[in-house]
Structure 1
């Protein structure tokens, strides 16, 4: 019974502050959508796929099980080499980028394909052309770096990035950000509604007396609004002259 009463009180508070909750929720969603659209710079991805293989000249082109396993392990090693400053600084020099090796590394994402000799290299920037230039140049410099340092030529670029495949905006997500803003606004407005109800000690209705004081209502004194007061004054004013006129007539009759 007490639990049902508490749920009823919660519903009463939500219903009383419904307009406040709806207003804050919609305002929060609108702010989130406008902020996402006008103040967050769009981001574009460009991805290229790199294959790690072994060249066995003079032998069968079919891979042995050990060779495939070795190449799969090399994928993890090469993923680390891509973020090495020797590779990134060369890319910065080639493209004349105004950034450090650490900043460039923050734009790159290496994603090994599980149980595969292929991994994906992705660059995310504010321009699709810039993303394509960076990711393709990083792949080329990485391929040459592996060949020069490790003395092996077992890296191939399967599919270079193109502007056509990188023209779609990947961030920010307007729908998702708006939904998040609406959810945050709803939680904030509900919390504010309960806080205002908790701080409000005023009693305005009979329900407030029963709900807050737990006392029965014995009687109610009606409230007369300003318009009703004005009408009462007009009626009383219009009734007074007629009364005097009747009295005056009676006195004049007696005088005769």
Structure 2
């Protein structure tokens, strides 16, 4: 037989485990805040741009659509070349970096808008000044080595160089976002655990549990009497008995 659960039962479970759910949410948010502010190392981004634009031999000639299309198609090739060892090994050597081309590649991101001749090279590093140097050096070395790699093709021009910001803002971590995600995860974990504990709880605590789990009708209920109540009733009984005894003795003396 399939078991169904009503909205009332859901709210009762949540109400019963509300403190536990709140503790999960608060704990997850606290952990996320501590990790974001005190554990994770802030990282910064710095970007440099270059443009792919075929140089004209005759200054009186103008670019046509095919030239622009060729430059745009070359960008996909340049995106691969700029992250290759031929470029990055020279960058690491010139800047005396403590790592090689493979580690440097993970810090590098090359992107371009669709049908655009402008390519953006973005470097992420805990040191913003170093990220700026890597971005500018990578674009410069790529520009210098492009004619050699592409057999005389010289169509790369630096559009803008990366600069060190006065008050840089780290791109990661993002404490607000991390805390918000932690709150959601904590709430989900707390609610899930609340329903799991309720599902594993087989104790019978109410009359409804007897009817639901045992399938037996309730004929009567025996109230729970505390010891204090029992002593109070006994004292009251003795007091009443003494009063009745005193009244009977007075009646006998009168007779």
The TM-score normalised by the length of structure 2 is 0.83
Query: Where do residues 1-256 of structure 1 align in structure 2 (5 Å cutoff)?
Result: 5-60=5-60, 62-150=62-150, 151-164=152-165, 167-225=168-226, 229-230=227-228, 233=231
Any conservation in 2 of the 1:43–1:125 contact (CA below 8 Å)? yes
How far apart in 1 are the matches of 2:35 and 2:204? 41
What's the RMSD between the two structures over aligned residues? 2.9
How far is 1:33 from its partner? 2.1
Any conservation in 2 of the 1:46–1:166 contact (CA below 8 Å)? no
Deviations 1:8-30 (A, max 9, x none): 43333223222222221221222
> For 2:22, what is the secondary structure of its paired residue?
helix
How far apart in 2 are the matches of 1:189 and 1:38? 25
Any conservation in 2 of the 1:46–1:162 contact (CA below 8 Å)? yes
How far is 1:230 from its partner? 4.2
Relative to its length, the structure with more helix (as a share) is 1
Pick which of 142-151 and 37-46 moved more. 142-151
Deviations 1:155-207 (A, max 9, x none): 11111111128822111121221122122212211221121112111112233
Deviations 1:66-108 (A, max 9, x none): 1111111111111111011111111111111011211100110
How far apart in 2 are the matches of 1:175 and 1:158? 34
How far apart in 2 are the matches of 1:101 and 1:195? 50
Aligned length: 246
How far apart in 2 are the matches of 1:223 and 1:60? 105
> For 1:55, what is the secondary structure of its paired residue?
coil
How far apart in 2 are the matches of 1:166 and 1:152? 40
Any conservation in 2 of the 1:46–1:165 contact (CA below 8 Å)? no
Change (3 A) 1:84 1:191: same
How far apart in 2 are the matches of 1:118 and 1:197? 59
> For 1:164, what is the secondary structure of its paired residue?
coil
| 5+ long unaligned stretches in structure 1 | none
Deviations 1:123-152 (A, max 9, x none): 011121121111111111111111333323
Deviations 1:19-50 (A, max 9, x none): 22222122122212222222111111111111
Change (3 A) 1:5 1:137: closer
How far apart in 2 are the matches of 1:42 and 1:125? 9
